[in-house]
Amino acid sequence: GIRGTLVIGGTTKDRLPVGILKEGMAEYAVYPRALSVTERMRVESALALRHGVTLTHSYFNSKGTVIRNYSRLKSYNHRVAGIINDSTSRLRQTSSASSEGEAVVQLSTKTMAEGASVLWGDNAKQLSFAADKGNGKWMQRRWAATTTGQPAEQLTLTFDTRSIHQLQPLDKDEHYYLTVDNSGTGK
């Protein structure tokens, strides 16, 4: 209720946790006190997931549990997005895609258990195909996903092919496949 100037990050020398903020601010949260590092990371995670923004640290749920480990998935920390049901943070995100350019993956579900989440990001490679030692042509860009809580059922994955300039009509007996590597090894 008091007029004044809102300064963002004015008392810290830390950089904002996003790589690129092209469209300005869609939402912000104001607290009557300085948040601890852990509290700030939880708030940043909720806002990033709500708006499809990639953070430069791990993602946390409202309880402070890591739901996407930045260090372990550093090479897949591009165009991160996620679906989550976290009532404490009032975050029920049942459909999501990254807001960053060339984000071709969207995931949605109708129902998701409390505390469950699915987050994904890509390796920042080109959206093009390359030969793979006689095993056909594979997309250079790969995605890694992490899940927490009870697995979501009836997930719908939408892959927007408009960004893939190499995509051509298939010849007879040719097919495009989506492969899922549950081992996480990439093999």
Question: How confident is the model at residue 49, as a pLDDT?
Answer: 93
- C-alpha count within 13 angstroms, C-beta hemisphere, residue 90: 1
- Reported as a pLDDT band with limits 50, 70 and 90, residue 176 is confident
Average pLDDT over residues 126-155: 83
First to last CA, the chain: 58
pLDDT digits over 12-60, tens only? Answer: 555 555 545 555 667 778 888 888 999 999 999 999 999 999 999 999 9
Which tokens sit at 61? 């749920």
Question: How confident is the model at residue 148, as a pLDDT?
Answer: 92
Question: How confident is the model at residue 22, as a pLDDT?
Answer: 52
Q: What is the three-class DSSP state of 4? A: coil
Question: How confident is the model at residue 33, as a pLDDT?
Answer: 87
Bigger pLDDT: 136 or 41? 41
* Percentages (nearest 5) of helix, strand, coil residues in the chain: 15, 25, 60
Let me know: does 127 contact 164? Beta carbons within 8 Å: yes
**pTM score above 0.85:** no
Helix (H) or strand (E) holding 137: strand 137-139
pLDDT above 90 covers what percent of the chain?
A: 44
pLDDT digits over 150-175, tens only? Answer: 877 789 999 887 777 666 776 787 77
Let me know: does 103 contact 97? Beta carbons within 8 Å: yes
Helix (H) or strand (E) holding 37: helix 37-51
Question: How confident is the model at residue 34, as a pLDDT?
Answer: 87
Which tokens sit at 7? 């300064």
Let me know: does 142 contact 179? Beta carbons within 8 Å: no
Rg (Cα) of the chain, in Å, rounded? 19
